[in-house]
Amino acid sequence: MTTSHTAFVFPGQGSQKVGMLAAAHAEFSAVRDTFAEAGEALGADLWALVQAGPQESLNLTATTQPVLLTASVALWRAWQAAGGAAPALLAGHSLGEFSALVCAGSLGFADAVRLVRQRGEFMQTAVPVGEGAMAAIIGLDDDSINRICADIAAEGAGEVAAVNFNSPGQVVIAGHTAAVERAGIALKAAGAKRALPLPVSAPFHTVLMRPAGDKLASALAAVPITAPAIPVVHNVHALPESDPERIRGLLVEQIYSPVQWTQCIQYMAANGIRQVVECGPGKVLSGLNKRINGELSSYSLEDPTSLQDALAVLATV
């Protein structure tokens, strides 16, 4: 059964924290089995890391990515095992796009776990620590942010650009550290309410990530990808794709291209979606989605109670 007005979305980096899946989730065989499968693929006990930390280890990009993917897929499988209906569309924010493709049947789970660990390593080593930065810009329109970043880059301070269009009034910029700092000052002078530096160690989704993209392309070449059983709306252009080679190319392009999250949610709403379920730790995307389109109803699966609540509500729509 498919719920024609429901979409599932999968979070990316930033949603990780110790205890991000309640210990009670271990009662679900789907969750236990998914973490066991991931542990076998990586040779690491990810469930113990999720439950006990330390946080510093969870925050390492090469660890964060497989942990978040595993948690998201585990919740998806718990939803399925409980009789939850298949959604009409899927999407994931950055790393979450890999989770979406696994849940759509396009990418094998064990392959994806190994792949995103490599992706994290590639992204971390593409730019030396300290040379790249990211900052959240709050309360300024997209056009002004794009224009001011382009002006700063043209002045020779280094690369800086808008990289995450998360919702109207919330955009993340990234690039060389000095350029990001200069852009933050200029954007606040132009009317931004805040320019908040983010605690990350690399300028994700910028052209500086192209070396990581090249390495990811080689890794992806060895991984089977099939047409998704459920359409996945991609970050790069906010459209679904069915061609496996096109999907492969978009996963590479995504690593050095902006995340068009606002457009992804707008596409969903324009194509009949009325309910969006956040399938993964936290509720970051639910907050963004409400700002993008206040008419969308949001649900999460981050704990057993919310999973049961979503099952009860979505069984009737």
CA distance from start to end of the chain: 12
Is 94 assigned a catalytic role?
yes
Out of 205, 234, 257, 300, pick the active-site residue: 205
Cβ atoms of 15 and 68 closer than 8 Å? yes
Q: What letter does residue 223 receive in the DSSP assignment? A: S
Specify the 3-state DSSP secondary structure of 264. helix
- What single-letter amino acid sits at 117? R
Q: Are strands 275-278 and 2-10 parallel, antiparallel or unpaired?
A: parallel
Q: What is the residue whose two structure tokens read 């969308």? A: 296
Question: Are the beta carbons of 269 and 295 closer than 8 angstroms?
Answer: yes
Q: Which of 15, 72, 94, 286 is catalytic?
A: 94
User: Cβ of 227: how many Cβ atoms within 10 Å?
Assistant: 13
Distances (CA, A) of 110 to 39, 51, 60, 296: 9, 21, 20, 33
DSSP code at position 273: -
Determine if the peptide bond prior to 54 is cis (ω within 30°). Answer: yes
Q: Is 205 a catalytic residue?
A: yes
DSSP letter, residue 85: P
Query: How many Cβ atoms from other residues are within 10 Å of residue 17's Cβ?
Result: 13
Give backbone dihedrals phi and psi of 269, rounded to 5 degrees, phi first: -60, -40
> In a 3-state reduction of DSSP, which class is residue 280?
coil
Query: What is the Cα–Cα distance from 276 to 7, expressed in whole angstroms?
Result: 5
**Residue 212: exposure state from Cβ atoms within 10 A (0-12, 13-18, ≥19):** buried
The distance from CA 194 to its chain's CA centroid, rounded to whole angstroms, is 23
- Give all strands (DSSP E) within 198-240, no chain letters: 232-233
Active site residues: 94, 205
